[in-house]
Amino acid sequence: MLNTLVLYRAGVLVLAGIIAGGAHSALREKPLALQPAEPAPVIVVPVPQHTSVPAGAGAATVTAPKPLGLEISVPQALELFDKGVSFVDARHLPEYEAGHVDGALLLSAESFLGGSVPDALNYLDPQAQVVVYCGGGQCDASKNLVILLQQAGFTRAHIMTDGYPAWVAAGHPIATGKPVGP
């Protein structure tokens, strides 16, 4: 069963395999790794103090941008402001004239009374995001207005819960004077 010739030929077969494997190694364009590549490093960034993260968290893992909820903070509102999102002031005219978020439209819930659609809606895109605010604290004007806006087809309306006073306190852009448009 085993003789010198068999052993010799077995050696030839092994040698042929070594040569073929060596040639394969030399001709392979992509180098062969011996260990799987390390997963991409996870980016860890400090969480700003003003976000609603539990105390002591300190840092958070960045995965995907979290969609904004109905109620948003002033910093989140500022991000939308910087993106050019429309702001709607739900307060009364005198308050608006005394000071409002720069570029904000004046639109109160009362303007929807009687089933009419206020002209100010012509300035807004129902598909786009809208930030509504009022006096902050206990004011319900922004919530009432958002309900009406949702009924009018605005599905991406947000409420800046801390309202105009918090916006001013944060030093963000404001303006005074009468509303533009109708």
Partner 1 sequence: MNQPTAMKHRSAWLATVLRVALGGLFVFAAMMKLAELQQFAFAVKAFAILPDHLSHLAAFVVPWIELIAGIGLLLGLWTRPAALVIGAMLAAFIAGIVSVIVRDLDVTCSCFGKFEVPCTGPVGLCHVIRNLVLLALSLGVMWYGPGRMAVDGCCGSVGGLGVDTAPTGP
Q: Which residues bind partner 1 (CB under 8 A)?
A: 1-3, 5-10, 12-14, 16-18, 20-22, 24-25, 32-36
Distance CA 168, CA 182 (A): 26
Residue 153's closest CA among 182, 133, 125, 119?
Answer: 125
How many residues does the structure list for the chain? 182
- Rounded least distance, CB 39 to partner 1, Å: 15
- Rounded least distance, CB 38 to partner 1, Å: 13
- Rounded least distance, CB 54 to partner 1, Å: 37
8 versus 45: smaller Cβ distance to partner 1: 8
98 Cβ neighbours under 8 A, 6+ residues apart: 176
- Rounded least distance, CB 10 to partner 1, Å: 4
25 versus 51: smaller Cβ distance to partner 1: 25
Distance CA 106, CA 32 (A): 65
33 versus 43: smaller Cβ distance to partner 1: 33
Distance CA 105, CA 93 (A): 11
14 versus 44: smaller Cβ distance to partner 1: 14
Q: Which residues pair with 88 in a beta bridge?
A: 105, 132
